[in-house]
Each structure stands twice: as C-alpha cells, then as structure tokens.
Amino acid sequence: MGELLDALNALEENGPAPKPINPLDQVAQAIRSGGQRVNDTIEALKEPGMPLEKIARLTRQAPLQALAAAFLIGVLFTRRR
C-alpha cells in the first residue's frame, strides 16, 4: 500500500510513475518469503536438543505409543470445537 502512495505522489510531483506495480508479483514474493521463514524455523527446531528432534527420536523408539498419543491429542482438540 505504501508503494502505491509513493507512486501516486511521484505522479503528482514529477509526471509519470517510475514503473507499474504488479500485485501478483507482490503476492508471489510474500508467499515465497513466508515459506522460506517456515523452512528456516523447522530446520532450527530439528537441531540436536530441540523439540522436533526429541519428538522424532521418541517416535522412532516407540512408534505405537506415539501414534496413540497423537490420536488422543487429536480427539481432544476436535471435541473442544
């Protein structure tokens, strides 16, 4: 929105705006940057000693218990809604 205002102000002061703004490019860039941030966060949580690494290790050690716990947590969340 700020870029649009800058372009309109430039049009009033100096003539034509420098370049048209394509909203689809802005959306695509926002999605890419958001996805990159999510990937970076997941990678950080997979480091040794972090929560995702601990959960992955427990799941490998006891897969049936992990599946049962995930099922029960899912049931609790769906019943509250």
What are the structure tokens assigned to 13, written together? 């002061």
* 0.85 surpassed by pTM: no
Mean pLDDT, range 66-74, rounded to an integer: 90
pLDDT for 10-66, tens place per residue? 666 665 545 667 888 888 999 999 999 999 988 888 888 888 888 888 888 888 888
**56: part of which helix (H) or strand (E)?**
helix 51-61
Which pLDDT value is given to residue 72?
92
Which pLDDT value is given to residue 46?
80
What are the structure tokens assigned to 41, written together? 């966060």
Q: How many CB atoms are located within 10 Å of the residue 46 CB?
A: 13
pLDDT higher than 90, residue 7? no
